[in-house]
Every structure is written in structure tokens, then in C-alpha cells.
Amino acid sequence: MNERKALSLPGIPALLFLLAAFAAVVFVLIDTVRHAEAMGLEPTPGQVIPLVLLAALIAFLLKGLFAVQPNVARVMQLFGRYAGSVREQGLRWTNPFYTREAVSLRVRNFESGKLKVNDLDGNPIEIGAIVVWQVVDTAEAVFMVDDYANFVHIQAESALRQMATSYSYDSHDEKSISLRGNGTEVNAHLRDEIQERLSKAGVEVVEARISHLAYAQEIAQAMLQRQQASAIVSARTRIVEGAVGMVELALEQLNQRGVVDLDNERKAAMVSNLLVVLCADRATQPVVNTGSLY
């Protein structure tokens, strides 16, 4: 079931016309009664009843007037049958027999609770998300699901759980996508996952992004130690790479300038000393050799 436009007319001209018609009928009714009384007669039912019925009909037609606020649609039903939707804002007039249900088209958002799920590696994590959404098809929102707002909340949390199990919390290499390191890709996946579930409810997901991400309390301390160890290993690797490059450059410069001629054993000793100086995490204490190198 897709949304379609319902028949409606501008409300102000319709209101003025109905009020003028009602006033005219009342005027004719009063004039008829006065004319009969002036002649000393009682107005006959045939003169009064049609005018009264016409006035009642006009009053009933006034029930067809309704107001549409900005970014709000009205879903029309005629005896349980979908008759269309009205999005034109302002005062409108339609069939008085239509029942009218207001559906907001405004952009809405909510933040899910902190869900406890397992990531791709089986580690328990806590994750939450913010979802921004709006109704784009009023017919599907009203008739395809029982409560579209509650449907959005439940399906969004379901999609968040499904997405969280597809990635690791931390990446083990630069090529793999992780929840912590690839926010753009993860948020796009989450949005697509939610949109797939909400397409049947006439809802469009404007944005979805992770608002909370952490290891579960029972493993948080252990994972923090692992992160610290990984950071130390990564830093040491960069330090060693830089130190080896500096030692290589020093030996090359000494050889090119002929400052000193070192055999392999002395080169090894020099390399060892330079690596100790460059890779140590504390300041080194130099030992001055006043004797011969040999």
C-alpha cells in the first residue's frame, strides 16, 4: 500500500461559501415564518422542513473542514477504506464522512539504550546508537505496521545488534574494519541495516551513528592492558625502525668521510652502543674510553 493524494479543497473559500449558504437558508426560513404570521397563517411543514434539512446539511458539511500543520499529513479513511493523504498545509475541506489521522513528517531522533552484545571475536561489548528518521510514506506508516514509532525503536536496536556482531572492536591489521577505528564505514553499514528493516513501514533513516562503544565491565581491564601492550609494541617497532636507519646513516657517513676505519667487530660494537642509546626508554650514562680502541 502506497500513499496517494486525497481529494481536498481550499478551506477558506469553502468555509465562506458554506457560511453564506447557511445564512441564506436561515434568512429564507425566518422570512417564510414572518410572511406566514403576517397573513395570520401557520407555516406549513412543506415550507419549513426542507429549509431545516438544508440548514442541517450545510452544518454537517462544515464538519469537512480541517487544518493541516506544516510538516504534518492527514491520512483519510472512508468507512475503513484508505482514501488518500493530504499534505497541503492550512485550512482544507474534504468529504465530511472521512476520518482524519494526523501523521508527523518532521525529522525525529532517539538514542538507543546501551546494548550488551558480542563482537566478531566474541568479546562482550557495550554499544549504543543515535538514529535520525522521518516518515516519507504515510499510508505504509499507518497501515503496514501497528505502531510505526515503536517499530522504529525495536528494529533499530535489532539492526544495531546485528551490525555489532559483524566487526571486531579493534582491528588486528590495517586492512580489516573495526568498530573503534572505522566510524564512517560502520555508521554507513548501520544506517543501511536499519533502513532495510524500516522500508516496509514508510520510514526513511536520515542518519545513524554510534554514540557509545566500550568493552563490557568484566573484560574492560584485561582489554585495556592488551591495548596498552599493543601500543607499546607498535611504538617500540617505530623506534627500532628509526634507530636502525640512524645507525645505517652514521656508518655510511663515517665510511664516506673516512673519519675512522672500523673492522666488523668494532662496527658491531658501535651498532650495539648506538641502538642502546637510541632505543632505551631512559637517558643513558656514557662511559668514556681514554685508552686504545684495540
CA 290 to chain centre: 73
Q: How far apart are CA 153 and CA 156, in angstroms?
A: 5
Q: How far apart are CA 193 and CA 65, in angstroms?
A: 41
How many percent of the chain have pLDDT more than 90?
Answer: 46
Q: How far apart are CA 92 and CA 12, in angstroms?
A: 7
pTM over 0.75: no
Segment of 40-54, 164-178, 188-202, 227-241 carrying the highest mean pLDDT:
188-202
Q: Which three cell numbers stand for residue 146?
A: 501497528
Q: Rg for the chain (alpha carbons), in Å? A: 40
- 156-to-49, 105, 182, 195, 245 alpha-carbon distances in Å: 60, 19, 20, 9, 52
255-291 per-position pLDDT tens digit = 776 666 666 666 677 677 666 666 666 655 666 555 5
Residue 38 has pLDDT above 70, yes or no: yes
Q: Quick one: CATH architecture of 108-215?
A: 2-Layer Sandwich (3.30)
71-88 per-position pLDDT tens digit = 999 999 999 899 999 999
Where are the chain's structural domains?
A: 9-69+86-99, 108-215, 220-279
